[in-house]
């Protein structure tokens, strides 16, 4: 399960942050997703999870 909320940032990207629940091992790390629009109207979608050291990884 993913529980998140967010909105547009100052650059116009959609950013959501929250938590993702891994039922198999009981962990619930911070999670974020970013959608960025390119000039040709295509979009970049990026999902990241925060590791135990506090660093975000793809």
C-alpha of 57 from chain center:
10
**pLDDT tens for each residue of 1-45:** 788 899 999 999 999 999 999 999 999 999 999 999 999 999 999
How far, in Å, CA of 35 to CA of 49, rounded? 15
Residue 2 confidence (pLDDT): 82
Q: Where along the chain do its domains lie? A: 2-57
pLDDT on residue 18: 95
Q: Any residues with CB less than 8 A from the CB of 23 and at least 6 apart, and which?
A: 1
Numbers of helices and strands, H then E, in the chain: 0, 5
Residues near 25 by beta carbon (within 8 Å), at least 6 away in sequence: none
């Amino acid at each position: 399960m993913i529980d998140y909320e967010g909105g547009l940032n100052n650059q116009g990207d959609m950013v959501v942050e929250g938590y993702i629940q891994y039922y198999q091992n009981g962990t619930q790390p911070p999670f974020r997703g970013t959608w960025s629009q390119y000039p040709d109207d295509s979009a970049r979608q990026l999902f990241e999870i925060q590791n135990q050291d506090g660093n975000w990884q793809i």
